């Protein structure tokens, strides 16, 4: 059985519980989602999630505080996190929100404006931003930050211990996995899949990567045999696009539709047809739907030429009412 290591994104930290217990639960959740996409039972997969979240918190429960009071969290970000948020808004190409690298209005209002611009649910976008920005900024705060090295090394150790040949990394986890594979050339991976990856986000992520991009081009880990990137049409974190422009050595850069108003959730990405089609040849599993692998999504909606995000449509405005709000994002990444 081919061993898989998953690398989670933000919003996964659980305080007061043993890391091993949380990792086990996350592993079961990921296996269930991937198996659903493949049309098999979870028991047919050997999947372990590398739970690196505790290294980014050091006793500070970002997720819980943000979930309880996202507006307050966004109003009182530290300077590094505020800069990260500004880079994200600038990458979305919203000149009325950022002026000369500074916010033209309070961040919580800017996030709602960005959500409205791309027909996303404003409340859920604020909640997500209040969790994503602090965790991502904490990981990328400094090149030699202990939390960054610890998270990276934990992912590498999990890959080595499991002898994993496949790595699936979501959101911020794509950044951690990318750097872990670069930092540990002794690891050999047949397939790296990045889902909803912010690796190309200028300023905040792309320009801070280890190793640094060269002449605007991100470097592929030499120990990765195949690299597939999958992003949702409406995922405002997986920018800029096309991903292959910034990482031309990626083998496949696929665009999926996992749910515009359920954007950036790990479960949807893990169960999508593009991931199932990517994994099927390597895992050699028998599907329940006649034995033929799912096909990656290829249909495209009109997109903004800069960000790659969908052009807003007025007839999508009411769709947010169908999205059931959740009290916490602890299971969304």
Residue 7 within a domain: yes
Residue 274 structural domain: 3-59+141-322
Residue 77 within a domain: no
Residue 232 within a domain: yes
Q: What is the pLDDT of residues 228-245, one digit of tens each?
A: 999 987 788 888 889 999
Q: What is the pLDDT of residues 155-205, one digit of tens each?
A: 999 999 999 999 999 999 999 999 999 999 999 999 999 999 999 999 999
HEC readout, 158-175: HHHHHCCCEEEEECHHHH
Supply the pLDDT for residue 333.
55
Asked whether the beta carbons of 276 and 239 are under 8 A apart, the reply is no
Does the bond joining 211 to the residue before it have cis omega, within 30 degrees of 0?
yes
Number of domains in the chain: 1
Residue 125 within a domain: no
Residue 293 within a domain: yes
Residue 94 within a domain: no
CATH of the domain at 25: 3.40.50
DSSP-based three-state secondary structure for 98:
strand
The mean pLDDT value of the chain amounts to 82
Q: Could you give the C-alpha distances from 253 to 83, 194, 238, 259, 298, in angstroms and in order?
A: 28, 10, 12, 18, 11
Residue 118 within a domain: no
Residue 96 within a domain: no
Q: What is the pLDDT of residues 124-158, one digit of tens each?
A: 888 888 888 889 999 998 898 999 999 999 999 99
- pTM score: 0.84
């Amino acid at each position: 059985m081919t061993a898989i290591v998953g690398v989670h994104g933000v919003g996964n930290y659980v305080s007061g519980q043993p890391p091993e217990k949380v990792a086990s639960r996350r592993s079961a959740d990921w296996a269930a989602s991937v198996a659903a996409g493949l049309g098999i039972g979870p028991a047919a997969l050997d999947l372990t999630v590398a739970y690196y979240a505790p290294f980014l918190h050091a006793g500070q429960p970002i997720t819980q505080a943000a979930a309880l009071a996202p507006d307050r969290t966004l109003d009182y970000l530290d300077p590094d996190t505020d800069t990260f948020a500004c880079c994200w808004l600038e990458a979305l190409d919203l000149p009325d929100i950022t002026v000369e690298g500074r916010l033209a209005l309070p961040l919580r209002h800017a996030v709602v404006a960005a959500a409205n611009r791309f027909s996303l649910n404003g409340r859920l976008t604020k909640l997500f931003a209040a969790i994503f920005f602090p965790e991502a900024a904490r990981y990328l705060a400094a090149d030699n930050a202990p939390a960054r090295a610890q998270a990276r090394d934990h992912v590498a150790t999990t890959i080595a211990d499991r002898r994993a040949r496949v790595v699936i990394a979501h959101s911020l986890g794509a950044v951690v996995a990318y750097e872990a594979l670069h930092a540990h050339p002794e690891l050999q991976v047949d397939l790296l899949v990045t889902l909803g990856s912010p690796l190309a986000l200028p300023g905040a992520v792309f320009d801070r990567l280890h190793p640094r991009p060269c002449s605007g081009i991100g470097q592929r880990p030499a120990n990765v045999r195949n690299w597939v990137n999958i992003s949702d049409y409406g995922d405002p974190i997986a920018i800029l696009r096309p991903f292959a422009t910034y990482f031309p050595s990626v083998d496949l850069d696929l665009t999926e539709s996992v749910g515009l108003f359920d954007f950036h959730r790990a479960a949807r990405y893990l169960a999508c047809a593009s991931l199932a089609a990517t994994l099927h040849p390597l895992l050699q599993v028998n599907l329940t739907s006649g034995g033929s692998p799912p096909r990656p999504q290829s249909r495209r909606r009109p997109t903004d030429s800069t960000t790659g995000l969908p052009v807003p449509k007025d007839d999508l405005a009411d769709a947010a009412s169908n999205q059931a709000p959740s009290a916490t994002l602890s299971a969304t990444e």
